Amino acid sequence: MPNHATAQQIGTGADFPIRETREFRFTDHDFARVRELIYRTAGISLTPVKRDLVYGRLARRLRVRGLSSFADYLRILKSGDRQEQEAFVNALTTNLTSFFREPHHFPILAEHLKGLGGRRPLSIWCCAASTGEEPYSIAMTVVEQFGTFTPPVRILATDIDTSVLDRARQGVYRLDRTDRLPREQLRRFFLRGDGNNAGLVRVKPELQKLITFRQLNLLDPEWPMRERFDAIFCRNVMIYFDKETQYGILKKFVPLLHPEGLLFAGHSESFHHAADLFQVRGKTVYAPRGGAPVTAGRRP
C-alpha cells in the first residue's frame, strides 16, 4: 500500500502550523526530475506553480502501477519502459479543445482555400489534434467551402498524446459538446445516438474519411511528412514551450508550407521572436517570410 507522507509545513507563522497530507511523498528533487524529463521528451516547460497539477496527474500513474513513491516511479521511467513513458507524457499533456474554438480562423481558412481553387490537391496539417474537435472543425469548413464530402483536400491530424488520438479517431462526443454548432451543421455532420447511446453524437463516416490521424511529437528530430501544406494549425501549443523550442519548431514549419501557405496560431501566442521566419497576415495568422505577398485568405 502507498505510504502517506506529510508535506512541509505551510502557514503564516510557526505558532499555527498547517500540515498538508498527501498520499505520496513528492520532493523538490522529484519535481525537478519530472520537469527535466517532460522538457526533454515533449518540450513542455513546467513552471513551479504547476507542481500541484503534476502531483495530481502523476499520482494516478503511481496508483495504477501499485507504487509507493515518486522515486520508484521515476526509476521506471529512467529504465526505458516505453509504455510508461507514453503514459507519462499523456498524463502531463493538456488537451483543452472545442469545436470551432477561436472561430475567426475558419472563415479565413475557407477564403484561403477558395483563393487556391482546385489547381492541385490541397493539404492541411493540424498538429495538436487532441480529442479531434479541431480537425473535425477544419473538415467541416472544407466540406462547406467545396460543397462536397469529397473535396480535393487532405487533412493530417497529429498529437503527441496517443490516448486522445484514440478518442479523436472514434469521433464520439457528448451531445453538449456540440451545443454551439448550428442545427444544420449538427444534422449534416453528426449522427445522434439513441438507446444506450442517448446523449452522444458521432461524426459521420464521410467526414472522418477526410482526416488521417497520426501520433507525432513536435520535438522529434525528424518529421515523416514530405509534402507541403497549404495551411498548418498549431494553436495553443507553443505556450507550453520556451522561446528556443518555439523557434526550432517554427523553423521546421517553413519548408513544409507552400509559399502562399498560412500558419494559424492560438490567441495568446505571438511569434515576434521568429520575424525572420514568419510575417503576420491577420489575427494570429502568419505566412512564411519571403513567401507570396498575400492577404490572409486571398490569392495573390
In the predicted structure, residue 165 carries a pLDDT above the cut 50: yes
> Does residue 197 lie within any of the structural domains?
no
Are 118 and 75 part of one and the same domain? no
- For the chain, how many structural domains are there in total? 2
Tell me which of 31, 64, 92 is where a domain ends: 92
Contact 299, 116 (CB under 8 A): yes
> Does residue 189 lie within any of the structural domains?
no
* CATH code for the domain of 140: 3.40.50.150
Are 15 and 67 part of one and the same domain? yes
Please tell me which residue in 159, 161, 235, 281 is annotated as part of the active site: 159
Which of these, 95, 94, 34, lies nearest to 59 by C-alpha position?
34
Is 276 an annotated catalytic residue? no
Q: Give the other-Cβ count within 10 Å of 255's Cβ.
A: 8
Are 165 and 83 part of one and the same domain? no
Which of these, 206, 215, 201, 232, lies nearest to 139 by C-alpha position?
206
Q: Tell me the per-residue pLDDT of 233-265, one tens digit each, with 9 for 90 and over.
A: 999 888 888 899 999 999 999 999 999 999 999
Is 57 an annotated catalytic residue? yes
> Does residue 198 lie within any of the structural domains?
no
> Does residue 227 lie within any of the structural domains?
yes
> Does residue 199 lie within any of the structural domains?
no
Cβ-based neighbours of 90, under 8 Å, separated by 6 or more: 161, 162, 163, 164
Q: Tell me the per-residue pLDDT of 63-95, one tens digit each, with 9 for 90 and over.
A: 988 998 999 999 999 888 888 888 888 788 766
Contact 283, 104 (CB under 8 A): yes
pTM: 0.76
Are 244 and 222 part of one and the same domain? yes
Please tell me which residue in 25, 57, 177, 299 is annotated as part of the active site: 57
Cell of 225: 511528412
Are 68 and 215 part of one and the same domain? no
Q: Do β-strands 172-174 and 190-192 pair in parallel, antiparallel, or remain unpaired? A: unpaired
Residue 118: what pLDDT?
66
> Does residue 192 lie within any of the structural domains?
no
- H-helix or E-strand spanning residue 233: strand 229-234
Cell of 133: 474537435
Tell me which of 42, 71, 92 is where a domain ends: 92
Cell of 265: 496560431
> Does residue 160 lie within any of the structural domains?
yes
Residue 291: what pLDDT?
57
CA distance 68 to 47: 25
- H-helix or E-strand spanning residue 60: helix 51-65
> Does residue 180 lie within any of the structural domains?
no
Residue 200: what pLDDT?
95
| Proportion of the chain above pLDDT 70, given as a percent | 88
Residue 110: what pLDDT?
97
> Which structural domain range is residue 62 located in?
5-92
Are 109 and 37 part of one and the same domain? no
